Amino acid sequence: MLSQIREPWLKRASHNLMRGEEGRAALDQTLNRFYDLLLQAVASGDPGWLKPLLMEWASLRTEDELQQDELSLSPVLGALVAETLGVARQELSAADALELSEALLPIFTYAYGEIARQEITVRVAYVTAKLEKVRAELEGLDRSKSDFISVAAHELKTPLTLIEGYTAMLREHSKKEEETSPVVLMLRGVDNGTRRLGEIINDMIDVSLIDNDLLSLSFQPTWVNRLIEKLVEDMTPLAAERNQRIIVIPFDGWEQATFGDTERILQALRNVMTNAIKYTPDEGEIEISGRLLPGFIEVTVTDTGIGIDQEDQTLIFRKFGRLGAVATHSSGKTKFKGGGPGLGLPITKGILEAHGGTIWVESEGYDETALPGATFHVLLPIRTEPPDKKNARLFATETSGPIS
C-alpha cells in the first residue's frame, strides 16, 4: 500500500516543503531516501531503519538555527507525517488507509522520539562548544590583565627608582635644614608617597609572579612563635596610631618549627594584620592565636572590625576583590577603611598556597555598627625538610638532620 502511494506522496511532499525550484533535485533525493527507509521499516516492523537518516538531518542544522534555538526538524517530520496520512486517505480505500496508518504509527512515534534525542545531542554539543569558546576568551582576558599588571609594574619601577634617587640627593642637600623647615616636611611627604608607590608596584609584581606560577620560595627553618613576635613588632606602631591593642595568645605547639620562606610567610601575615587594623575602628582589638593540627599549624587573626558578608568571603581572595559595599575613603595604608588596590589577600593566598597551605575567613557578616569582626585562618603545613633536594642537603649539614 505504501509503495502504491509513493508517486503522489513524493509530489506533494516535495511541493509543500519547498516552494522554489532551487535545490529541488536534492530535496527529491532525500525524500526518496526517506521513503525507501520507511518502506523497509514497515516491511520489517523495525523503525530503526530511519535512524541513520534522522541522525544525518540533525547534524545538518545550521549555526543560525542553533543560535535561534529553533527546533527545525520536528516541524519537517510533522509535515511528512501529515502528507503521508493525507495521501493515503486520498489514494486508498478507507479501510486500506486505516491499516496503513496503523502500521505507520509506531514508526512515526519512534521517528519523533529519535529526532528529539538527536536534536538535543546536537544542541548540547553546540552549547558545550560555545561555553568552551567563552571560557577560552575569559582565560585570554585574564592573561592580558595579568600581562598588563606585569608590564605596568616593571615600567613604573624605573621612574620610581629615579624619583627615589633624586629624593635621596635632595635630602642630602638639605641636611642642615631644621627638622620643621618646609623643605624637610615636603621631602618627608615625597618619601611617604614614593614608599607607598613602591609597595603597590611590588604588590603588582608579586601578583603577576603568582599568576604565572613564578613565585620562588627559599625554604628555611621557620619558627611560628618567632614569626608572630616579629609580626607584632612590625605592626605595633601602626596599631598604636589607631589606639588598637594587639593581643597574642600562645597556643600548644607554637614553638613548632617548619620549613618555609620566612620572609614570604611574614609578608602574608603582615597583609592579614594590616587589613585587621584597617577594617577595625580606633580602640579595637586584634588577637593573634592558633592551634596545632595534624600536619599543620593554624594561625588565627581575629579583629573587632566591620566584618565581611558571607557571599564576599571568597571574592576578597580574588585579584582586585575590593568590596563595593565597603566605602573606602582614604589611601592611607592603615587608616580606618583606607582603600587599597585589592591585591593584598590574593598575594597572601598565593604565598600560602605555594607553601602547600591555605587561608580562609570566618565572619558573621558586614556591619559597621555592630562590628561583628572577622577571623582569618592561616594554615601552614609542617615540613621537617625543605621540598627541594639542594636546600635539604644544605640544612642537613647545618642542623645535622631534619628539624622536628
Cβ closest to ligand ADP, residue 108 vs residue 317: 317
Smallest gap from Cβ 229 to ligand ADP, in A, equals 21
**Options 268, 299, 374, 380; binder of ligand ADP; rule CB under 6 A:** 374
CA 220 from chain center: how many Å? Answer: 32
Smallest gap from Cβ 126 to ligand ADP, in A, equals 39
Stretch that binds ligand ADP, among 13-21, 218-226, 318-326, 352-360 (CB under 6 A): 318-326
Name which of 325, 337, 210 is nearest 267 in CA terms.
Answer: 210
Could you say whether residue 211 binds ligand ADP (CB under 6 A)? Answer: no
Could you say whether residue 284 binds ligand ADP (CB under 6 A)? Answer: no
Could you say whether residue 359 binds ligand ADP (CB under 6 A)? Answer: no
Site size toward ligand ADP (CB under 6 A) is: 21
Could you say whether residue 276 binds ligand ADP (CB under 6 A)? Answer: yes
- CA dist 178 and 386 (Å) reads 51
**Options 80, 207, 299, 308; binder of ligand ADP; rule CB under 6 A:** 308
**Options 51, 322, 333, 377; binder of ligand ADP; rule CB under 6 A:** 322
Give the burial class of 374: count Cβ atoms within 10 A of its Cβ; 0-12 exposed, 13-18 middle, 19 or more buried. Answer: buried
Q: In what order do the strands lie in the sheet with 285-293?
A: 245-248, 285-293, 296-303, 375-381, 358-362
**Options 8, 281, 341, 356; binder of ligand ADP; rule CB under 6 A:** 341
**Options 114, 261, 303, 385; binder of ligand ADP; rule CB under 6 A:** 303
Q: What are the b/e assignments for 94-103, b being 16+ CB within 10 Å?
A: eeebeebbee
Smallest gap from Cβ 333 to ligand ADP, in A, equals 9
Could you say whether residue 326 binds ligand ADP (CB under 6 A)? Answer: yes
3-class DSSP state of 140: helix
**Options 9, 57, 279, 336; binder of ligand ADP; rule CB under 6 A:** 279
**Options 344, 350, 357, 386; binder of ligand ADP; rule CB under 6 A:** 344
Q: Which long-range contacts (CB under 8 A, 24 or more apart) does 392-401 make?
A: 395/220, 395/221, 395/259, 399/221
Cβ closest to ligand ADP, residue 288 vs residue 382: 288
Smallest gap from Cβ 214 to ligand ADP, in A, equals 20
**Options 47, 284, 342, 350; binder of ligand ADP; rule CB under 6 A:** 342
Could you say whether residue 300 binds ligand ADP (CB under 6 A)? Answer: no
- CA dist 379 and 224 (Å) reads 11
Smallest gap from Cβ 77 to ligand ADP, in A, equals 57
Task: Assess contact for 238 and 334: CB atoms under 8 A.
Answer: yes
The terminus-to-terminus CA distance of the chain in angstroms comes to 91
Smallest gap from Cβ 131 to ligand ADP, in A, equals 29
Cβ closest to ligand ADP, residue 260 vs residue 305: 305
Name which of 62, 65, 10, 67 is nearest 35 in CA terms.
Answer: 10
Could you say whether residue 238 binds ligand ADP (CB under 6 A)? Answer: no
Could you say whether residue 196 binds ligand ADP (CB under 6 A)? Answer: no
- CA dist 358 and 297 (Å) reads 11
Question: Around Cβ 191, how many Cβ atoms within 10 Å?
Answer: 14
Cβ closest to ligand ADP, residue 91 vs residue 368: 368
- CA dist 115 and 67 (Å) reads 18
Q: What are the b/e assignments for 147-182, b being 16+ CB within 10 Å?
A: eebbeebeebeeeeeeebeebeeebeeeeeeeeeee
Q: Footprint of ligand ADP on this chain (CB under 6 A)?
A: 271, 275-276, 279, 303, 305-308, 316, 321-323, 326, 340-345, 374
